[in-house]
A and B are shown apart, each in its own frame.
Chain A
Amino acid sequence: MNGILIAMIITLLIPLYTGFYHDEIWEKMLAFATISCKTAMMILVISVLRDDWMIGVVAIIVLSVGNAGLMLLAHLIKRLDEEKI
């Protein structure tokens, strides 16, 4: 099972790389979206591995809150882009 988690960590490095090297703000938002989803999924996997449901509940909340924060931020950045024109 450790192998699965290490594979998940390596896939986490791909959006980290794209988020750092691309200058477009929406590329960074995409990297943020995938990473917030992936970290929440990793916490879920770990909670199942350890049979600890407290961590599992936290994973669900992190998943929903991460997406909510992302949508708020996306709306603010979209408004900024519209003002530029």
Chain B
Amino acid sequence: MTETYVYFIVALLPLSALMLVLQVNPLHALVIRGLLGAIAALVDAVLGAADVALTEALVGTMLSVTLYAIAVRSSLVLRFGVLTDNKDDGELFHLLRNICRQYHLRFKLISYPDQESLEAALRNKEIQAFAHEQDTNYHTITRVKRLYEILETELSPSITSLTYQNLTNSVEKH
């Protein structure tokens, strides 16, 4: 192997791997993973391993990226329950959207007709948190401990009061 260009091509692989490691957003990292797969296929083909290059292109670029895209899409989401009559974009929802963007989550508002169905949805794990109006203020209840910690630091008490509801006891009863 005397060709000089081989060294340049092989040097691209750690470069793109470093780019992948430095990504923080999971979706962006997925796209860079596809890019890494393309460069790995190039390196394999240049070094004479055509079969490995073919496998890398099939699995690395197409299959794993597509499967992980579906996994990211179905997991990194905050489903937030709200009553149908106060679905308009208030300050709370604007703030929540900003917090979700900061943590690379998607924010999805799901409206319910009354208070009972909101609580039932939280118990059945359809939503992670919900907010309802109490006097002039909002009251937010969440069943995820980590979400409670994030919201506690980011949201001021003047906008909403916050409660953590532990559902593990009720789950054990089932």
A residues contacting B by CB (< 8 A) are 2, 5-6, 9, 12-13, 16, 19-20, 23, 25, 28-29, 31-32, 35-36, 39-40, 42-43, 46-47, 54-55, 57-59, 61-62, 65-66, 68-70, 72-73, 76-77, 79-80, 83-84
Contact = CB atoms under 8 A, between A and B. Distances in A.
A65 B73 contact: no
A46 B32 contact: no
A26 to B, nearest CB: 10
Contacts of A77: 27, 69
Contacts, number: 122
Contact of A80 (B12, B15, B73): B73
Given A12-B12, A39-B42, 19 more contacts: A9-B12, A20-B22, A31-B31, A36-B34, A39-B38, A40-B38, A46-B46, A55-B53, A58-B45, A58-B50, A61-B54, A62-B54, A62-B61, A69-B34, A69-B62, A69-B66, A76-B70, A84-B106, A84-B107
Interface stretch (B1-9, B85-93, B148-156): B1-9
B141 interface: no
Nearest to B100: A84
* Chain A, interface SS category: helix
B41 interface: yes
A19 B16 CA distance: 10
25 contacts: A2-B4, A6-B5, A9-B12, A16-B19, A19-B31, A20-B22, A25-B31, A28-B28, A28-B32, A32-B34, A35-B38, A35-B39, A43-B45, A55-B45, A55-B53, A61-B58, A62-B45, A65-B57, A65-B58, A66-B38, A66-B57, A69-B66, A72-B66, A76-B70, A79-B73
A55 B19 contact: no
Taking each of A46, A66, A69, which has the highest tally of chain B beta carbons within 10 Å of its own beta carbon?
Answer: A69
Contacts of B145: none
Interface string B52-85: 0110011001100110011001000000000000
A49 to B, nearest CB: 9
A66 B61 contact: yes
Contacts of A84: 106-107
A59 B45 CA distance: 8
Interface string B12-50: 100110010010000110111011001101100110101
Given A2-B4, A77-B27, A69 B106 contact: no
Contacts of A32: 31-32, 34-35, 38
